[in-house]
Amino acid sequence: MFKEFSIGFLVLLLAACGAPRPRHAGPQSPGGAPATPNLQLPGRNYRIDASRSELRILVYRAGPLAHLGHNHVILNRSIHGSVNIADATGGSVFWLKLPVAGFVVDDAQARRDEGKDFAAEIPDDAKAGTMRNMLSTSLLDADEFSEISVNGVASVGARDSGGVVTPASATLIATVAISVAGHESTIDVPLTLSSDSEHLSATGSMDLRQTSLGLTPYSLMLGALQVQDAMTITFEIVASRI
DSSP code of 13? -
Class of domain 7-20+27-241 as given by CATH: mainly beta
Selection from 96, 97, 176, 106 nearest residue 134 by Cα: 106
What is the domain partition of the chain in residue ranges? 7-20+27-241
Alpha-carbon gap, residue 93 to 97, rounded angstroms? 14
Which residues in 49-71 are b (16+ Cβ under 10 Å) and which e? ebeebbbbbbbbbbbebbebbbb
Helix H or strand E segment including 93? strand 93-99
Contact 97, 80 (CB under 8 A): yes
The predicted structure's pLDDT at residue 28: 43
10-residue mean pLDDT profile of the chain (242 residues): values are 32 34 42 44 84 94 76 94 78 90 94 93 84 75 91 63 52 89 89 88 90 68 76 95 92
Alpha-carbon gap, residue 241 to 201, rounded angstroms? 11
* DSSP-assigned beta bridge partners for residue 235: 55, 204
User: Which SS3 state, helix, strand or coil, does residue 193 take?
Assistant: strand
Its pTM stands at 0.75
Contact 158, 136 (CB under 8 A): no
The predicted structure's pLDDT at residue 19: 36
The predicted structure's pLDDT at residue 50: 95
First to last CA, the chain: 43
